[in-house]
Chain A
Amino acid sequence: MAAKSIISRPVYGTLSPQPGKHHLFVADAEGALAITDLAAKAPYGFFADAHIIFIPGQDGRHVAALEALKPAQFYQGPSFASALPRLKQTLANAHMGLRLYLAGTEGLIGQAMQAALEAGIDHTAIQTEHRGSLARRIQCVHCKGITEKVTTQPATCSHCGLLLLVRDHYSRRLAAFQGVCINAEDRSEIPPTEEIFR
């Protein structure tokens, strides 16, 4: 569970069934468990108007559990990038009354929210629940490159190679935390690396 630090650091809740005409879920890996937990609280027939977009983890688990909810549509893809066109298309054709639920890693929640914001959904109207890895998606403020699945502090920018302090400062527009050079004064100073975003 992510602790609140500074105001831009996202906090997540617990998925709960909302009144609506259609329900769109986007989840990865253990995010599936947030959906099955919600299902236990959902009214009868709730998933008849639901669409689940799921990106399984390495272990490939939870697909059967989600299919068992009998959503109107179920999609699984190998990566968020592969699912994104489908998500964008769904949002582009959607009407008011569609409710959005995001569950899983912060990278998935952030990127799906980014697509939703572009489609005109207010971030406060989106249900989110963090499950699984604490790995972060970061943007290097120097070269602007995005590095995915960062688990260490500091972390190396996968584009320009600078050693970055991973901050709690988060951008919804970029769907990324901010990474700032940790040793700008003296590049030979290498602080110890710890794995803290597991």
Chain B
Amino acid sequence: MSTGTTKLDVVVSDVVPVNELVTRFHFRRRDGQLLPTFSGGAHVVVEMRDGERTRLNPYSLMGSPLDTREYTISVRRDDAGRGGSLFMHRHVRPGMEMVISYPVNLFSLDLRARKHLMLAGGIGITPFMAQTAQLAAEGGNFELHYTCRTASLGTYADVLKERYDRRVRLYHDDRDERIELDRLLSSQPLGTHLYVCGPSGMIGWVRDRAAALGWPTETVHFEHFAAPQPGAPFDVTLALSGKSIRVGEQQSLLEAIEAAGVDPPYLCRGGVCGQCETNVIAHDGKFIHNDHWLSEEEHRSCKKIMPCVSRFEGRSLVLER
């Protein structure tokens, strides 16, 4: 089985609608034991058995790392997505038995930091729910800037304000409130680390400004789970296992490889962790890279692909798998 993907048998202990788009799910272990410890920023991969189909989607743990009686995730409904969030919203009910992975943290706090500056956009708030709880318990120095579309879609904005008061600053798009990013970044004390989670445009903007304003790369942390994008079906030859597969329109390349009975390594299934990196042996066509793992140079080289989120268009593709 793939690295770090040891499974936990859980039962859904609660389902709580948070606002018109977001619902929170609580999981407890079926055997009544405590869940494994985790640190703020960790995620789990939730297995969704939807008829014939199994979906595996990553979600950040948003509860306090100090309480491992249950795990909580918040899922934003994506009506145009591939159906994972819709499955969670429509079919998951309290008492249902599910399987989730052990937690994995690809967005952890650097505890050497003198101060933690957190920037969240929309549902990107979830890892910060856990991180702020962890830091607050240790007397850590943090400041959270949270951008949401409207006050009613500001998921957990009220909870965070209540818990942390002036350490939380809210920005509402509909009121034309914007983060004054350059001023914010240039007024931070030496030793501050920056964390950003939100839409990819926001992450790109923050990383670019931080780099231009002299933030060393090791002080800038970000997480963006790219959901696999649907696309035209394509055929792939798996050279090592000697199989030919077809990747469906709504299927990711990784899912198609797994459906053929091949078990490649994976962790995040969102183009972040690098586990499923696969070598390209031959190709005739064009890659559609959607990951945050490979460098731009590697994307251009056409020698590697991240099958969890990236696709291909063309005549033929042979992978070392």
Contacts and interface: CB of A to CB of B under 8 A. Distances in A.
- The answer to whether A and B come from one shared complex is yes
Contacts of A119: 190-191
Contacts of A57: none
Interface in A93-149: 94-99, 119-122, 124-125
A119 B188 CA distance: 13
Contacts, number: 58
A14 interface: no
- By DSSP majority rule, is chain B's interface helix, strand, loop, or mixed? loop
Contact of A124 (B212, B215, B216): B216
Contacts of A99: 214
A139 to B, nearest CB: 23
B192 interface: yes
A119 B190 CA distance: 7
A120 B211 contact: no
Given A20-B214, A97-B213, A99-B214, A120 B185 contact: no
B194 to A, nearest CB: 8
Nearest to A23: B214
Contact of A96 (B112, B188, B212, B218): B188
B189 interface: yes
B213 A94 contact: no
B212 to A, nearest CB: 5
Given A96-B185, A120-B112, A125 B216 contact: yes
A124 to B, nearest CB: 6
27 contacts: A18-B214, A19-B214, A20-B213, A20-B214, A21-B186, A21-B214, A22-B214, A91-B190, A95-B188, A96-B188, A96-B189, A96-B192, A96-B214, A97-B185, A97-B213, A97-B214, A98-B190, A99-B214, A119-B191, A120-B112, A120-B113, A120-B189, A120-B190, A120-B192, A122-B112, A122-B216, A125-B218
Interface of A: 18-22, 91, 94-99, 119-122, 124-125
